[in-house]
C-alpha cells in the first residue's frame, strides 16, 4: 500500500470515529439587547430568565448587575464606563453573581471594588473568590464582644472604647478629622496581628493617596488591603465597594483572624445608590432617598461581629458625613440606629484646635465598655464628669463674673484634662502611656500649664512610662483593677517628669 493510500485509510477511520461518536449536548445561551444606556445604568430587553443581582456581559466588554426586574425589561447597574456601550448591542447572561478575589495575596495591594489591581504591581495570584452579597451570621454563630480593639487615641480608648466585633460609627462634618481617626486606628494594629481593610467610597484620588502614604509610612501596608472606588468611577462600582470589602473581611474572619474594616464613607455610598435608583425610576422618599436605603446599610453592617467556632471577628468603623452638625438627617439617623455607638467629631472643638475633636457629650459606645480594660474604666467615669462640669462652668465664665477659688481650680483642672486629650495625627499611643497622661491630668499635674508646656509635659510623661511604668502595662495586659499602689507609682513618675521639665526650662531661662 502506498503512502497516499495509508493516509486515505487513516483519514477515513478518523471520519468514521467522529461520525460514530455521540453528539455534544446542545449549548443554550440567552442573548438580550441593549435598549438604552445613560449615566451608569442601562435598560436591557430579551432576557426574561435573568435573576436579581446576576452579572450581565455586554458585547463591548462592560459588565453590569441586574438591579430591577420588570416585565419585558431589566434595569442594569453598570460596572464600567457608559461611553463604551452602543444601543442595540447584544447582552449575555453569565449565571453568576458579582464575586471578588479574597485571601492573603490581597494584603499590601490597592484594588478596585471587583478586585482588579490599581497599584501597578501585576495581577493578584489567588484562586479563591467570594460573592459580595452573603447572609449575615445567625445569633448562634456569634459571641459577645469581650476583647478591646485599641485605637491608640486617648479620647476614644478611655471614653468611647471599641471592642473587637463592634460596629462603631464615626460621624461629623467635613474637615473634622473622621478619616484621621480611622487611619490612626489602623496604624495602632502594628503589634496586634489584626488585618485591616480600608475601603474608600467616592473619595478623591489625592485623598486616597494620602491615606495609602500614611499607612505605608506607619508600617501597616503589609497587613492592609486598600479598596478604592473614586468619585470618577462608575456609580455601580461605588455602590458595590463596601459589600466587596466586607466579603474580603469575611474571608479572613473565616480563617480565625481579626479584621478591622473602615468604610469611608457611607454618605457617598448612599448618594450613589440614590443616583442609580432615581435613574432607574424608583420612587424617591425622604430627602429623595429610596425607601430601601436603610436596608442596604443594615444588611451590610450586620455582617460584622464577633464569631465563634474557630472564626475571628470583623470590627466595622463606618464613616458618615453630616451637614452643619445635623445629626437628625436621614442617613446619619439610619446609621446611628444600625451601629453600636458613635464617635462624634464636633466642628466647635475643631475651631478650638482640639484634635481629635471627639465630643464626649454626644459620643457613646454601647458595647465596647464591656471589653475595656478595668484600669481604663476606673479613669473614664471621672473623665466624663470632669469635662462635663468644666464645660458648664466655662460657659458661665465667659460672662466675666467673679469666680471663687474653688471654681477657678475646677476650671483649671477641666482645661488641663481637655488639653491632655489632644493628640497629633499618626501618633497612636500604647495603653500604658495613655493612662499615665490621663492620671497625671486628673491628679492636677498639668493644671495651669499653657499649651506648649502641656505638650512638653505629656512627652516627658510618655518617656518616663517607657522607662518605668510601675507595673501598669502588665496590669493592663492581665486586665487587673488599677490598684492604689500602681496609681501612686505612675503618678509619682509623672510628677518627677513634669518637675524635671520645669527645672530644664528654668535652666534654659
Residue 1 has pLDDT above 60, yes or no: no
pLDDT, position 18: 73
Q: Please check whether the domain covering 31-96 is classified as CATH 3.65.10.10.
A: no
Which of 143, 271, 299, 366 is catalytic? The answer is 366
**Is 423 assigned to a binding site?**
no
Residue 8 has pLDDT above 60, yes or no: no
Residue 394 has pLDDT above 90, yes or no: no
Residue 504 has pLDDT above 60, yes or no: no
Grid cell in block for residue 248: 474580603
- The CATH class given to the 100-371 domain equals alpha beta
Q: Which residue would you say has higher pLDDT here, 328 or 4?
A: 328
CA neighbor of 320 nearest in space, from 425, 225, 201: 201
> How many whole angstroms separate alpha carbon 40 and alpha carbon 131?
22
Taking only the tens place, the pLDDT of each residue in 34-89 is 999 988 999 999 998 999 999 999 999 999 999 999 998 999 999 999 999 999 99
Is residue 2 very low, low, confident or very high in pLDDT (cuts 50, 70, 90)? low
**Is 46 assigned to a binding site?**
no
User: DSSP readout, 310-366?
Assistant: T--EEEEEEEEE-STT-TTSHHHHHHHHHSSEEEEEPHHHHHTT-SS-B-TTT-EES
**Is 231 assigned to a binding site?**
no
118 is catalytic: no
Which CATH fold would you assign to the domain 376-508? 1.20.150
Is residue 257 very low, low, confident or very high in pLDDT (cuts 50, 70, 90)? very high
pLDDT, position 364: 94
**Is 372 assigned to a binding site?**
no
**Is 121 assigned to a binding site?**
no
Do β-strands 364-365 and 73-78 pair in parallel, antiparallel, or remain unpaired?
unpaired
The ranges assigned to domains in the chain are: 31-96, 100-371, 376-508
Quickly count helices (H) and strands (E) in the chain.
15, 17
**By CB neighbour count within 10 A (0-12 exposed, 13-18 middle, 19+ buried), where does 350 fall?**
middle
Average pLDDT over the chain reads 91
> How many whole angstroms separate alpha carbon 83 and alpha carbon 358?
44
Residue 342 has pLDDT above 90, yes or no: yes
**Is 172 assigned to a binding site?**
yes
**Is 466 assigned to a binding site?**
no
Taking only the tens place, the pLDDT of each residue in 85-133 is 999 999 999 999 999 999 999 999 999 999 999 999 999 999 899 999 9
Amino acid at each position: 500500500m502506498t503512502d497516499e493510500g495509508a493516509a486515505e485509510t487513516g483519514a477515513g477511520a478518523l471520519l468514521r470515529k467522529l461520525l460514530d461518536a455521540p453528539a455534544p449536548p446542545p449549548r443554550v445561551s440567552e442573548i438580550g439587547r441593549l435598549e438604552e444606556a445613560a449615566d451608569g445604568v442601562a435598560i436591557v430587553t430579551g432576557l426574561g430568565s435573568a435573576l436579581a443581582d446576576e452579572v450581565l456581559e455586554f458585547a463591548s466588554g462592560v459588565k453590569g448587575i441586574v438591579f430591577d426586574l420588570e416585565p419585558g425589561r431589566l434595569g442594569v447597574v453598570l460596572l464600567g464606563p457608559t461611553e463604551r456601550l452602543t444601543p442595540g448591542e447584544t447582552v449575555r447572561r453569565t449565571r453568576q453573581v458579582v464575586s471578588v478575589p479574597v485571601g492573603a495575596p490581597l494584603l499590601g495591594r490597592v484594588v478596585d471594588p471587583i478586585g482588579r489591581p490599581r497599584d501597578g504591581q501585576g495581577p493578584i495570584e489567588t484562586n479563591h473568590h467570594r460573592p459580595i452579597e452573603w447572609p449575615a451570621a445567625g445569633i448562634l454563630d456569634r459571641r459577645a464582644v469581650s476583647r478591646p480593639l485599641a485605637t491608640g487615641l486617648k479620647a476614644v480608648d478611655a471614653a468611647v472604647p471599641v471592642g473587637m466585633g463592634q460596629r462603631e460609627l464615626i460621624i461629623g462634618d467635613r474637615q473634622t478629622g473622621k478619616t484621621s481617626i480611622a487611619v490612626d486606628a489602623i496604624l495602632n494594629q502594628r503589634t496586634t496581628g489584626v488585618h485591616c481593610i480600608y475601603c474608600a467610597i467616592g473619595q478623591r484620588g489625592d485623598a486616597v493617596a494620602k491615606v495609602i502614604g500614611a499607612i505605608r509610612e506607619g508600617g501597616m501596608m503589609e497587613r492592609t488591603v486598600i479598596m478604592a472606588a473614586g468619585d470618577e468611577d462608575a456609580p455601580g462600582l461605588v455602590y458595590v465597594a463596601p459589600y466587596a470589602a466586607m466579603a474580603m473581611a469575611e474571608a479572613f474572619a473565616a480563617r480565625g483572624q481579626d479584621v478591622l474594616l473602615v468604610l469611608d464613607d457611607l454618605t457617598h455610598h448612599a448618594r450613589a445608590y440614590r443616583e442609580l435608583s432615581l435613574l432607574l425610576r424608583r420612587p424617591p422618599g425622604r430627602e429623595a432617598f429610596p425607601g430601601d436605603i436603610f436596608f442596604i446599610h443594615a444588611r451590610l453592617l450586620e455582617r460584622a461581629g464577633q464569631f465563634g467556632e474557630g472564626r475571628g471577628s470583623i470590627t466595622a468603623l463606618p464613616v458618615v458625613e453630616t451637614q452643619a452638625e445635623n445629626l437628625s438627617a436621614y442617613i446619619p439617623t439610619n446609621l446611628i440606629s444600625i451601629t453600636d455607638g458613635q464617635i462624634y467629631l464636633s466642628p466647635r472643638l475643631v475651631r478650638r484646635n482640639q484634635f481629635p475633636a471627639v465630643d464626649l457629650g454626644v459620643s457613646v459606645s454601647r458595647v465596647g465598655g464591656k471589653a475595656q480594660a478595668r484600669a481604663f474604666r476606673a479613669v473614664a467615669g471621672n473623665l466624663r464628669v470632669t469635662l462635663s462640669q468644666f464645660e458648664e462652668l466655662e460657659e458661665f465664665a465667659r460672662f466675666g463674673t467673679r469666680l471663687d477659688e474653688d471654681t477657678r481650680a475646677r476650671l483649671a483642672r477641666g482645661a488641663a484634662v481637655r488639653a491632655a486629650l489632644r493628640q497629633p495625627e499618626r501618633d497612636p499611643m500604647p495603653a500604658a502611656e495613655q493612662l499615665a497622661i490621663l492620671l497625671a491630668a486628673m491628679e492636677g499635674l498639668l493644671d495651669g500649664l499653657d499649651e506648649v508646656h502641656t505638650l512638653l509635659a505629656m512627652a516627658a510623661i510618655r518617656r518616663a512610662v517607657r522607662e518605668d511604668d510601675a507595673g501598669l502595662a502588665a496590669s493592663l495586659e492581665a486586665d487587673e483593677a488599677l490598684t492604689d499602689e500602681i496609681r501612686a507609682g505612675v503618678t509619682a513618675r509623672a510628677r518627677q517628669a513634669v518637675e524635671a521639665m520645669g527645672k530644664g526650662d528654668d535652666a534654659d531661662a
